[in-house]
Amino acid sequence: MRYTIAAAALLGLCAQAHAATATRAGFGQLADGTKVEAVTLTNSAGMSAKIMTLGATLQSLVVPDKAGHKDDVVLGYDTAQEYLSRPDYFGASVGRYANRIAKGKFALDGKTYTLVTNDGPNHLHGGTKGFDKRMWKIDSVSSGPDAKVVLSYVSADGEEGYPGELKVTATYALNDQNELRLEYRATTSKPTVLNLTNHSYFNLSGNDARDVMGNMVTLHAARFTPVNATLIPTGERKAVSGTVFDFQTAHRVGDRIRDARDPQIRFGRGYDHNFIVDGNAGTLRPAARVEEPVSGRVLEMSVTAPGIQFYTGNFLDGTYFGKGSRAYRQGDAICLEPGVFPDSPNHADFPTSRLNPGQSYVNTIVYKFSTK
Ligand code: BGC
């Protein structure tokens, strides 16, 4: 009996030694004096994720390469204020509506809502002061098999032109299997539309050593949604087979990105398109795989969302100076943004972005890292 208790205690200790930990600390302040905090999740396999309260942003993600060297694999800034001064949604939680809404207009139950147009003629990523520029609250921080932080934000009825008070949480959890699980949840006081996602810019070479053109990408998507010249879906769901959008088997990003015979490449300046993830939305299923051949780092993403925006940092123009004073240039990162399709409020046959009072919105994303 005594032996069993001792063995159990020892097992408990071992389990603890391998547990992932969460630590909370200051992350400087904004120009207006607002204090920003960050929670760092660290596992026993060499990974750590830093999440800051401004924008519930994934500020850094350290992942070992095949030789065990740890590097940061997401673009971003060293200070919180830069995320506000030069916003490009680096690592941010985007809302209320990630991606575009045509002409900033949509109708709900017969009423037309007008949103700001901040991307040419369209509304992008929630407007002038979307969720990426809001201060989120830390609700809880915990260590254990999953090191976890829960952040929340309450968006007032009418904020940025959207109806309903929206209560949102973002939960980041890191385990010892090198899985970072991110879950967005929301409830509303009135019928509304929403599309919450994370906008991390991945560069698996680590600290942006190389651009992403040599990355091998697989997208579990037999179809994508073509767009017009302002990147609004035409409504078509097009088979990727025989096009430069066929990533059903692994392809180098750079192999076909300059093939401007396809007007879709012209519109996006490369890849900036929503792919329809195979299988059933609402079920966690594989969506994407990215392999960086030199470091050997591999990212596999599983999602519950119906779509995933594949964007190759086409609008990074060398005027963004990120962590460690690195200039970010076109093609320096891959964004994989799971959500409903762009402009879904204006496409009755797209998966719905509508949320009613009493319903719970959930968008789950799992980022799993390994090496090859
Ligand atoms: C969009 C791009 C945009 C980028 C940063 C992506 O989600 O698809 O067109 O430039 O976000 O704003």
pLDDT digits (tens, 9 = 90+) for 309-318: 999 999 999 9
- What pLDDT shows up at residue 17? 56
Say how many Å lie between the CA of residue 311 and the centre of ligand 1: 7
Q: What is the DSSP letter of 156?
A: P
In 3-state terms, what secondary structure has residue 136? Answer: coil
Report the C-alpha gap between 271 and 315 in whole angstroms: 11
Write out the DSSP string of 64-125: E-TTS-EEE-B---SSHHHHHHS-S-TTEEE-SB-SEEGGGEEEETTEEEE----BTTBEET
Nearest to 247 by CA among 212, 226, 267, 277: 277
How many H-runs (helices) and E-runs (strands) does the chain carry?
Answer: 4, 30
Ligand 1 pocket, 88 CB below 6 A?
yes
Alpha-carbon distance of 103 to 118, in angstroms, equals 10
- Cβ–ligand 1 contact at 179 (below 6 Å): no
Nearest CA to ligand 1 atom 8: 272
Q: CB of 328 closer than 6 A to ligand 1? A: no
Residue 99 Cα to ligand 1 midpoint, Å, equals 7
Tens digits of per-residue pLDDT, 7-41?
A: 544 444 444 456 999 999 999 999 999 999 999 99
Conformation bin of residue 111: beta by default, left when phi > 0, alpha when psi is -120 to 50: beta
The confidence score (pLDDT) of residue 87 equals 81
Cα–Cα distance measured from residue 315 to residue 133, given in angstroms and rounded to the nearest whole number: 20
pLDDT digits (tens, 9 = 90+) for 326-372: 999 999 999 999 999 999 999 999 999 999 999 999 999 999 999 99
Q: How far is the CA of 372 from the centre of ligand 1 (A)?
A: 30
**148 neighbors 23 (Cβ within 8 angstroms):** no
Catalogue the active-site residues: 199, 337
pLDDT per position in the chain (372 positions), as tens? 444 445 544 444 444 456 999 999 999 999 999 999 999 999 999 999 999 999 999 999 999 999 999 999 999 999 999 999 988 999 999 999 999 999 999 999 999 999 999 999 999 999 999 999 999 999 999 999 999 999 999 999 999 999 999 999 999 999 999 999 999 999 999 999 999 999 999 999 998 889 999 999 999 999 999 999 999 999 999 999 999 999 999 999 999 999 999 999 999 999 999 999 999 999 999 999 999 999 999 999 999 999 999 999 999 999 999 999 999 999 999 999 999 999 999 999 999 999 999 999 999 999 999 999
pLDDT (0 to 100) of residue 13: 45
Handedness of CA 243, 197, 199, 150 (dihedral sign): negative
Per DSSP, what are the bridge partners of residue 110? none
